[in-house]
Structure 1
Amino acid sequence: MRKVLVIVYYWPPAGGPGVQRWLKFVKYLRDFNIEPVVYVPENPHYPLVDENLLSEVPNDVRVLKHPIKEPYAWASLLSKKKTKTISSGIIPEKKPSSLEKILLWIRGNLFIPDARKYWVKPSVKFLLGIIEKEGIETIITTGPPHSLHLIGLELKKKMNIQWISDFRDPWTSIGYHNKLRLTKKSQKKHKDLEKKVLTNSDKIVVTSRTTQMEFEALTNRPVKVITNGFDEVLSPLQLDSKFTISHLGSLLTGRNPITLWKVLQELVNERPEFAKQLSIQLAGVVGEEVWESIGQHGLQSYTNQLGYLPHEQVVEVQQKSQILLLLEIASEETKGIIPGKLFEYLNAKRPILALGPTEWEAGRIVQETKAGISLSTTDAPALKNVLLDWFEQFKKGGFSANSIGIEKFHRRELTKELVNFIVWESS
């Protein structure tokens, strides 16, 4: 078998969406004659932990570990709560406190490209001998954190290997990047590092067509779109008896669906039957401003905060919910963001309500697969009509999604695409 070294930061017992992509690729690579060797940090700082995911790591896959030094322990001396919040990606929309300004400035300007930068040099030193000894011809780095791409960059300089960089999210064009209080010098450094990675990678993998076009303007290296996907074969479960609208995953403040809260408030006030049946479920970290907004619209008594759930429970909630809520910030920068949860939503086969920017790629997938409805975040009349129509179907007991063509998003099919890209020889 051809050996491939996969360099990842998020790996079980890490929780959250970042771990799923490469955990599943590794699961299926051997089906296509690729032997994965996985390299991960020995003592990482994971904002979310899901011990259950350890059981999904194939028993016969080699996982190499090396210590990592991260600054979050030092920063938490100032504020453990705010450090964990910012490290999880939740940046306040309201005017940040003085401490938050300091933490954001430090994160953006002292830790470039991110707080895992101190793992680069020791990792390169550790991996050089292993790559040569094992006869590894291909390495794959996946980010964020994008500092892992710098490991690939250094290894590429020193060895005759194929390097593939996988971008689960964009680098400098992602929405929160502009909130890191970057100096002009820091902005330039991020851009320069991004350009170095893109021009020195042999091949590049991205998760959306938007990111593909963005990167193709910066490099002549081949850029391939391989989305995230779903894996489990699910048995049908009994649906919730109430009209549940569920959001799974961190609900960042910028994604706060104020128009949805406003429309739900109107429906609760106008229709007693709707008020009796409504149930809002939020699983994962919820920003303070989001919770405040729910309260301002009189919806807290209808809302159940489930907190962080293990992945297997997330899948169960998705299957039982009447509506699955998919949200994104309405901006030009986010139209190429395709949340990993979308594909698990597709697998759950429950109607998806997608609220995001115009020409949102995730919304287009929802529409093309007939898995639900995609609307602008501010289109209150259309949103109200959709909810009323779905509620009427719910009352009649025939509310379901009749999606089509979702098989191509199964993790095994996506792994096949990845392998074809690994072995493909560019002219």
Structure 2
Amino acid sequence: MDLRDLWSQSHLIVGTSSYNKTYLQEQEYLRSADKTLVVTEGIRRLTLKKFPELREDKVFTLTNGYDVDDFRDIKVKFINKKFTLTFIGSWYKARSENSFISALYQLATNSNFLQRIQFRFVGNISADIQKQLAPLADTGFIVFRPQVTHREALSEVLNADVVILIESNLFELKLNHSNKLFEYLGSGKPILAIAPIDGEAAQLIRQERAGIVVDPDNPNEICYGIVDLFNRFEHNPHRDIVLGTYPNYNRKNLTRELANILDEVCAQKILDRE
């Protein structure tokens, strides 16, 4: 069974009248499955906690991943005129960390940063956020770009010096990884994660040494993180792009791992029949 995300433990179910029925449904499927796959260790731990009758070896973590071929033949600039930090995807009002917006304004008070740093937000950025950041957009410190094709989004990633991940404090989201995290990893670009420090995304980024994680509720920490990345860029502006730096999340390797799990299940079935 490929459970992937939360089922009965989703915030959409917990505390509602349908919780007990949904829990029993999930329990039935978990018991009948030979193996169950989930996307993060956090979800795996929660599943084993909520269904203590399950054996640990019945639940596997198989993350999402990236495809190196998606990045092939994308034209990349040799170097940006400004230190460029790029966010791709959707940034909703509910996820608009006021501390991040405060940090951007704080950085813009420094004329050196204002002239030498650019933030690019590409995708579905809420009108409320664009309104809050409009004065910074007028200076060129921030650039908004509407939704683009997947290939063009990856071009933005490869042409960035740093990519930005914004994660919510919502319990369920802390247990998950954003899909774009893996494309960020596939690009080999350093990640600025404005994310809960105890969330799954933060743990993965620290584990892989793929970037830095800053507290989304601390504008000073966000500023220090950006300045730190800027200083690293100043010392090494010609950083080479290395695609597939994190092979554990390459979809070919993940598919190989899935095939091994399926082989194990099939072999056990044959033994059971004998």
Partner residue, 2:253: 413
**Residues 166 and 190 from structure 1, CA distance in 2 versus in 1: closer, same or farther, beyond 3 angstroms?**
closer
Map 1:340-359 onto structure 2 (within 5 A): 340-359=179-198
Per the alignment, do residues 339 and 202 of structure 1 end up closer, same or farther by CA in structure 2, a change over 3 Å counting? same
> Deviation at 1:320?
0.5
Tell me if structure 1 keeps the 8 A contact 2:2–2:37. Answer: yes
Alignment match, 2:2? 165
Which among 313, 324, 332 is matched to residue 163 of structure 2? Answer: 324
For residue 285 of structure 1, report the CA deviation from its aligned partner. 2.0
CA distance in 1: counterparts of 2:211 and 2:238, whole angstroms: 11
Contact 1:349 1:401 in 2 (8 A): no
Match of 2:101 in 1: 261
Aligned partner of 1:200 among 21, 25, 32: 32
The 8 Å contact of residues 185 and 245 in structure 2, kept in 1 or not, is answered as: no
Contact 1:337 1:361 in 2 (8 A): yes
Question: 1:21 maps to which residue?
Answer: none
Match of 1:398 among 210, 224, 237: 237
Q: Is the 8 A contact 1:246 1:324 kept in 2?
A: yes
Higher RCO, Cα 8 Å, sep 6+: 2
**1:390–1:184 Cα change, 3 Å:** closer
**Equivalenced residues, count:** 256
Indicate the residue corresponding to 2:18 in structure 1: 186
1:290 Cα deviation (Å)?
Answer: 3.1
**What letter corresponds to residue 207 of structure 1 in structure 2?**
V
List runs of 5+ in structure 1 lacking aligned partners: 1-163
Query: Are the counterparts in 1 of residues 215 and 221 from structure 2 also a CA contact under 8 Å?
Result: no
SS at structure 2 position matched to 1:250: strand
The 2-side partners of 1:423 and 1:166 are apart by: 19
Inter-partner Cα distance in structure 2 for 1:300 and 1:188: 49
- Distance (Å, rounded) in 1 between the aligned partners of 2:145 and 2:120: 7
1:111-150: CA deviation from partner (whole Å, max 9, x where unpaired): xxxxxxxxxxxxxxxxxxxxxxxxxxxxxxxxxxxxxxxx
> Relative to 1, partners in 2 of residues 1:401 and 1:186: Cα closer, same or farther, differing over 3 Å?
farther
Partners in 1 of 2:207 and 2:236 — Cα distance?
A: 25
2:82 matched to which residue of 1? 242
Q: Please tell me the root mean square deviation across aligned C-alpha atoms, in Å.
A: 2.8
Q: Which amino acid aligns with 2:97?
A: P
Q: Secondary structure at the match of 1:260?
A: helix
Is residue 333 from structure 1 mapped to residue 167 from structure 2 by the alignment? no
When residues 416 and 319 of structure 1 are mapped into structure 2, their CA distance, relative to the original with a 3 A threshold, is: same
Mapping for residues 8-407 of structure 1, pairs under 5 Å: 164-167=1-4, 169-174=5-10, 177=12, 184-217=16-49, 218=51, 220=54, 222-233=58-69, 234=71, 237-238=76-77, 239-269=79-109, 271-295=110-134, 298-301=135-138, 302-398=141-237, 400=239, 406-407=246-247
Aligned partners of 1:370 and 1:402 also within 8 Å: no
Measured against aligned partners, the alpha-carbon deviations of 1:22-43 in whole angstroms (never above 9, x if no partner) come to xxxxxxxxxxxxxxxxxxxxxx
Ranges of 4+ aligned residues in structure 1 off by more than 4 Å: 233-236, 399-405
Question: Aligned partner of 1:303: which letter?
Answer: I
What is the CA–CA distance in structure 2 between the aligned matches of 1:287 and 1:272, rounded to whole Å?
27
Shift of 1:266: 0.9
Q: Report the CA distance shift for 1:288/1:194 in structure 2 as closer, same or farther (over 3 A).
A: farther
Deviation at 1:194, TM superposition (A): 3.3
TM, length-normalised to structure 2: 0.81
2-structure distance, mates of 1:279, 1:401 = 20
Which secondary structure does the structure 1 equivalent of 2:192 belong to? strand
Shift of 1:381: 2.6
TM-score w.r.t. length of structure 1: 0.54
* Distance in 2 separating the partners of 1:191 and 1:327: 31
Give the partner amino acid of 1:260. F
**SS class of match (2:248):** helix
Shift in alpha-carbon separation, 1:237–1:215, aligned structure 2, 3 A? same
Deviation at 1:372, TM superposition (A): 0.8
Amino acid at match of 2:54: N
Measured after TM superposition, the shift of residue 412 of structure 1 is 0.7
Whole-angstrom CA distance in 2 between matches of 1:262 and 1:387: 13
Cα 1:285/1:193, change in 2 over 3 Å: farther
C-alpha spacing 1:358/1:397, structure 2 compared with 1 (3 Å): closer
Change (3 A) 1:397 1:262: same
**1:45-91 CA distance string (max 9 Å, x none):** xxxxxxxxxxxxxxxxxxxxxxxxxxxxxxxxxxxxxxxxxxxxxxx
CA pair 250-171 structure 1, distance change in 2 beyond 3 A: farther
Is the contact made by 1:255 and 1:328 (CA closer than 8 Å) also made in structure 2?
A: yes
SS in 2 for 1:321: coil
Structure 2 counterpart SS, 1:384: helix
